[in-house]
Amino acid sequence: MAAITKRPEPYSRAVDRELIELAKTMDLEKIAKRTGRKPENVLRMAKGMAGDPMKFATTRPYADPEAAARKLIEIAKSVEPLQDGWIFVEEINAPFTGTSAEYKAGLDLAIAHGWLDLHESGMFVKFSQAGAELFA
């Protein structure tokens, strides 16, 4: 005869609150027993549930769109423009060390401030008059 296994408890807010309180004690053995996971795999879950969010190991230098925009302008100044002052977007994208979201936020801010003009194709940028004067 097959052994009857206990069905998992249905999800409820009460169970969730119990786990959160348990996570605050950081008793990994009890959390592992309660969730059915290995104790070595429970630490991240317990930290998140206890309200200790994971943090970046270092601060992101371009998390501020203003800093990202200024770095993009600095990179664009070092690139040789093509015909009529247009610069390939790839030439400022490649040396940028931030994330793609930081790059996009910086580029959008530089365009919003009027420092750069974006070609209608989206493949080129060039310094606007304000950008040329500001960063001359």
| Count of beta carbons in the 10 Å neighbourhood of residue 8 | 8
Residue 97 identity: T
DSSP 99: -
Strand order in the sheet with 87-88: 87-88, 124-127, 116-118
- What the chain holds in terms of domains, given with CATH numbers, is 13-49 (no CATH), 65-134 (1.10.10.10)
| Count of beta carbons in the 10 Å neighbourhood of residue 97 | 10
- The pLDDT-based confidence of 134 (bands split at 50, 70, 90) is confident
Two structure tokens written together for 112: 């919003």
The rounded distance, in Å, linking the Cα atoms of 81 and 64 is 27
The rounded distance, in Å, linking the Cα atoms of 29 and 130 is 62
Does pTM top 0.85 for this prediction? no
- pLDDT tens-digit series, residues 10-59: 544 555 666 666 666 767 777 677 777 776 666 666 666 555 555 556 67
pLDDT at 60: 83
pLDDT at 124: 93
- pLDDT tens-digit series, residues 1-23: 555 555 555 544 555 666 666 66
